[in-house]
Structure 1
Amino acid sequence: MMIRLLYASRAAQPVSQEVIDEILSRARARNPALGITGILCHGGDIFMQVLEGGREAVNELYKEIVCDPRHRDVVILRYEEIAERRFAGWTMGQVNLAKINPSLLLKYSEKPVLDPYRVSGAASMALLEELIATASIVGRT
């Protein structure tokens, strides 16, 4: 049984590019063996991530994220069983919202900033789908 989990969290400490690179490097090295694919979206101190794969593997990884002291305010935005992956080509893709046109963010929220805490899980997933469609995702390996 495959699932897709979308969650949001806030960084416990200021986020640097080195921190993002470390997270992505670890995910890209570890996720293939776990059968997990996904995408990481960040803006300011907020992270939004989709994890896809087997229920047990995704749940275990999410549990690790919740317990990771680098994250706070971790919340599930969407959790669903899936017949196929949407992010099959990504061991962990990346979107840096600082480089996205603010009008795209305004399409899905009140302000041109990433704040998945103030919008529905469906709106957050729709934003990610549009980012895929507009090729705004990097790191497809």
Structure 2
Amino acid sequence: WNACYWKNGNRVDMARRSSYGTCIGSEAFGIFIDGSDIYLAGYNMIVNKNGVAVKWRNGNTHELSGDSALVEWHHLWDIAVEEGIKISVGYYTPDISNEYNYDLGLPSFPIYYVNGKRYQLEDTEYQWGEATGVYIY
């Protein structure tokens, strides 16, 4: 499985590489076109680690969650770009036991990235949420 998009009926695969280990798969969910640049938002699945939040620009991989993939799962749903500002949204799930109410399932926290820096939309008391879309006005 590999993140991709179709242009004029032709499949365009995104680079499936990671600086955090062997990437065994990737998925993209959001796409945004800014001039001649094509951005996708999604994640890479790394062997023996969690999902790494990724944005692709013209097929090139840009990992956002990085080292936190050792303890958190990151997933991006959407991306938007305006005047050089890149915003992507999604969620992260901590991979930490005995800290949350697992009767409700694994906790999930909504996040967004602005030019690669992560911001959390809810505090650790909130147990489940995702940011699923972004629009820059």
Q: Same fold (TM over 0.5)?
A: no
For normalisation by structure 2, the TM-score amounts to 0.31
Larger radius of gyration: 2
Higher strand share: 2
Q: Structure 1-normalised TM-score?
A: 0.31
Tell me: higher relative CO, structure 1 or 2? Use CA pairs within 8 A at least 6 residues apart.
1
